[in-house]
Structure 1
């Protein structure tokens, strides 16, 4: 049995992936207004998996992004969650793209919200790890996301409607 112990510990360590949970709130020009649930973030061999447990959102497809700064406060101009800055773009690409291709690293697959206002479908961000996003903001935008800058910038997404600050992995 003592010869098996190192192998068992190695297998257990390989199976234990870093993870964290982010609480999201609806946001407006005055700040956070109401909790809408959580998004669990977990590392996988294929990238960062984001599993929402959200309710009370408008039905349909929504832009879903990691933003540069870990704040959901309004900007000085009253933009909801404007203090979060733009999409996370450490390489300075300056362009919106797909989660698996060129563009901001903060570009995530679109978030699907069902007719009852719930989002539960996981999405995969293959270019991200928890260490990349810790201390940044996770944002839900009104409207969909075409993962391009045409015909409208930033995937055509609209206002910031829900936000949460991503903590450290545990």
Structure 2
């Protein structure tokens, strides 16, 4: 019965503790449970149990002592060095220039001038035919062939002619000393009849006509096929050693209708002639 009552009292105290604290009353923890009445006697203080205390550690200052600054080390001064002098050294003494003229170094003779003509070049220096009572005819013609079998080019100038057309041929023989009659017939290695320079059937020496202007000057510019001529000495087609002949009249190119036309072209007398020579040794007509 008593234990039941105590249980109720304890339950009541627990339930009423917040209300008692709110009313300013002392909580049960300030009284001691009365065994006789079953209530709390507030005149008797509750026995306070003392817990063992741990001795307080000696308070130490939390202020840390700053570490001393490391000692400063000063680099030693570098040893003194000699300052290089900026003055340029005096140049070595030189001997005064001599005023005597020095002998020029030996020089070699200059090389010969370059050849202005191709290697296969010949020349024919014209002169008036002996015994001809005409004006003096002169001039020269170059005969050039770049390669054997290539075209043969005749170029030059002739003056002293009467204005108009004049037959111009390559003859078979050499007309030495202006003896144009000694030049023989037209050069005809293929034994053909006379014709014009553009005909298939013609003499190899048929060059047609040249024309003199009112001043009596004729400019030669002829291209002949290399299959019929060769700028060389000897051989069946060689022209060196043969003659060029200028005639009195025009060449009818084999169209005259008579035998003379098919042989000479009805060209008349021989006015001037020359012997074709290699350019390397052409020293006289």
Query: TM-score scaled by structure 2?
Result: 0.47
- When residues 73 and 85 of structure 1 are mapped into structure 2, their CA distance, relative to the original with a 3 A threshold, is farther
1:26 corresponds, among 124, 128, 131, to 128
State the match for 1:108 in structure 2: 207
Alignment root-mean-square deviation, CA: 2.6
Q: Does structure 1 retain, via aligned residues, the 8 Å contact 2:137–2:161?
A: no
Higher relative contact order (CA 8 A, sep 6+): 1
Residues 36-93 of structure 1 deviation map (CA, whole Å, 9 limit, x = unaligned): 111111115752111121111111111100101012457xxxxx61111000112222
- When residues 98 and 35 of structure 1 are mapped into structure 2, their CA distance, relative to the original with a 3 A threshold, is closer
**Distance (whole Å) between structure 1 residues aligned to residue 274 and residue 268 of structure 2:** 17
Q: Note the C-alpha offset of 1:160.
A: 0.3
* Structure with the higher fraction of residues in strand conformation: 1
What is the count of residue pairs matched by the alignment?
149
Q: Does structure 2 retain, via aligned residues, the 8 Å contact 1:17–1:44?
A: yes
5+ residue gaps, structure 2: 1-116, 233-237, 281-285
- When residues 121 and 88 of structure 1 are mapped into structure 2, their CA distance, relative to the original with a 3 A threshold, is closer
SS state of the match for residue 82, structure 1? Answer: helix
**Distance (whole Å) between structure 1 residues aligned to residue 170 and residue 152 of structure 2:** 12
Q: Which has the larger radius of gyration?
A: 2
Q: Note the C-alpha offset of 1:109.
A: 2.9
Residues 23-102 of structure 1: matches in 2 within 5 Å? Answer: 23-29=125-131, 34=136, 36-44=138-146, 47-72=151-176, 81-93=180-192, 95-100=193-198, 101-102=200-201
Q: Does structure 1 retain, via aligned residues, the 8 Å contact 2:118–2:146?
A: no
5+ residue gaps, structure 1: 1-14, 75-79
**Distance (whole Å) between structure 1 residues aligned to residue 252 and residue 119 of structure 2:** 31
Q: Does structure 1 retain, via aligned residues, the 8 Å contact 2:137–2:158?
A: no
Q: Does structure 1 retain, via aligned residues, the 8 Å contact 2:123–2:142?
A: yes
